[in-house]
Amino acid sequence: MLELLHMHFMHNALLAACLAGIVCAIIGTFVVINRIVFISGGIAHTAYGGVGLAVYFGFAPLLGITLVSILASLVMAWVSLKARNRADTMIGVLWALGMALGVILLDLTPGYHVDLMSFLFGSIMTVPGNDLWLMSGLAVIILCTVGYFYHDFVALSFDPEFARVRGIPVGFLHVLLMLMIGLSVVVVIQVVGLILVIALMSISPFIAERFSPSPLRMMGISLGLNLIFALLGLLLSICLNVSAGPSIILVASLAFFGVQIVASSR
């Protein structure tokens, strides 16, 4: 088992899992306290259109995912600001449209059949070095942005009307938060795939919420949980020789239901 940790692909896998764990702990906390898990799922699935675009026009899939994620998060921001009570339908339509476009563009691409499963469920064991650089860069951007605007994001989540009276640029911050969700989707897709992004963003912050007196503590506890889930998931996938992404989610989901059952039996 130990010699596995010294293999090159394992280094990359652990690094990718750590990056995803950090990003999901921070952004997932705001996703959970603002109850916008559905929006983050919508952005992730719409991003599949980016895979189709990239393959069809012949550029790197992660670049396609990044561009479409950013576009999708801006549209989601606009929809949730301007048409709040119809937002769920709009998000659902974008969710489906992105997936459909992705599949159609892949169908139209002659002779090339990209491994669909790796984008749907992640391919953490085969993360290329270049992608790790992009993921690290995005993680730094997310960390700095949330560090600088932490109290503003908290105020926005707690009481947006009051925040506006105190001169906090609520509209700008809402768009910025959506953009951060879009960027974190890019980081996480390599690890668990776009279908499972929602799980990694919501499970550990949700568990952490019970034990947290502040959003900052919630991020810290979620980070610890995410790293444990990633490590156990990777071990499970190696032992059973099954896909890594779904294994991580399986561990996280078991922990989620475990905590729910223990908490409700008290």
Which residue of 14, 109, 209, 232 would you call a contact of another protein, by CB under 8 A?
209
In the complex with another protein, which residue's Cβ is closer, 29 or 190?
29
The residue among 79 and 187 lying less far from another protein, judged by its C-beta, is 79
Distance (Å, whole) CA 157 – CA 152: 9
Q: How far is the CB of 42 from another protein (least distance, A)?
A: 20
Distance CA(38)–CA(248), nearest Å, equals: 21
Stretch in the footprint of another protein (CB under 8 A) among 99-107, 166-174, 193-201, 222-230: 166-174
What region does 159 belong to: left with phi over 0, alpha with psi -120 to 50, or beta?
A: beta
Chosen residue from 4, 5, 35, 86 binding another protein by CB under 8 A: 35
Q: Which residue, among 30, 50, 139, has the nearest Cα to 101 in the 3D structure?
A: 50
Rule CB under 8 A: choose which of 3, 213, 241, 264 binds another protein: 213
Burial (Cβ within 10 Å: 0-12, 13-18, ≥19) of residue 20: buried
88 near another protein (CB under 8 A):
no
Q: Which of 15, 78, 136, 169 binds another protein (CB under 8 A)?
A: 169
Based on the shown chain and the rule CB under 8 A, indicate whether residue 141 belongs to the binding site for another protein: no
Provide, rounded to whole angstroms, the least separation between the CB of residue 202 and another protein: 13
The C-alpha atoms of residue 59 and residue 22 are separated, in whole angstroms, by 28
CB of 32 to another protein, least distance (A): 8
Shortest distance in whole angstroms from residue 211 CB to another protein: 9
The rounded distance, in Å, linking the Cα atoms of 43 and 36 is 11
C-alpha dihedral sign at 164, 169, 174, 175:
positive
Residue 73 CA to its chain's centroid (Å): 12
The widest CA-to-CA distance across the chain, in whole angstroms, is: 59
Q: Given the complex with another protein, which of 32 and 53 has the nearer CB atom?
A: 32
- Alpha-carbon span 227 to 125, nearest angstrom: 16
Comparison of 212 and 237: residue with beta carbon closer to another protein:
212
DSSP-based three-state secondary structure for 158: helix
CB of 209 to another protein, least distance (A): 6
**Binding residues with another protein: total (CB under 8 A):** 32
* Nearer residue to another protein within complex by CB, 129 or 167: 167
164 HSE (CA, 13 A, CB side) = 6
Q: Which residues bind another protein (CB under 8 A)?
A: 33-35, 147-149, 151-152, 154-155, 157-169, 172-173, 209, 212-215, 217-218
